[in-house]
Homo-oligomer: A and B are copies of this chain.
Amino acid sequence: MNQSARADHAACPGCQTPDLAFLTHDHADCARDALARAEALVLERGLRLTPVRKRVLQILLESHQALGAYDVLNRLAAEGFGNQPPVAYRALEFLEEQGLVHRIRRLNAFAACMHPGEEHAPVFLICTGCKTVAEAPATGIGAALGLAASGMGFVIERATVEAVGKCPACRSEP
């Protein structure tokens, strides 16, 4: 699968069901769901999913890739929002604090969380072929990490786990 195919939201990888992450499926659905859940979560917490914040989340959900802050900013600016970096960075920061967006440090980029609200230490699989970022089920890894650390007397607060490699589609291509 090439990158332009991946840009088609009707046939995309990486959504919340791990089994589907790198398979073709209807992405419009999971984006809509994630947005609705995000909105509910934020309200529950007495916070506001303002227009900029909502739009930033939508952009990330729709693009279904990790986007740089300036990519997001450009889209915002094109739609009449502010066009200075803090506009994007602040929205992204808010969304990250609320667990709605994850920061992919390896890419200096941000990706929408595909299962907000659920407790999770995210693990990212970054395909070097199609640039898709999938959130993997972290089962066991957080625990193994905590264990290794506590063996040295270290107490983990947050962890970043990012792997680069090839997704099934890109692996079976030249």
Report A's interface with B, CB cutoff 8 A: 18-19, 21-22, 105-106, 123, 125, 127-128, 134, 136-141, 144-145, 148-149, 151-168, 171
Contact = CB atoms under 8 A, between A and B. Distances in A.
B155 A171 contact: yes
A95 to B, nearest CB: 19
A141 to B, nearest CB: 5
Given A158-B163, A160-B162, 19 more contacts: A18-B152, A123-B145, A125-B149, A125-B154, A125-B156, A128-B157, A140-B144, A141-B148, A145-B163, A149-B165, A153-B167, A153-B171, A154-B165, A155-B166, A156-B164, A156-B165, A157-B163, A158-B165, A159-B164
Given A106-B105, A168-B153, A148 B158 contact: no
Tell me the interface secondary structure of chain A in the complex: mixed
How many copies of this chain does the complex contain?
Answer: 2
A98 B81 CA distance: 46
Given A125-B156, A154-B166, A155-B171, A141 B134 contact: no
Given A105-B106, A106-B105, A141-B141, A157 B164 contact: yes
A132 to B, nearest CB: 10
B171 A163 contact: no
A70 B135 CA distance: 33
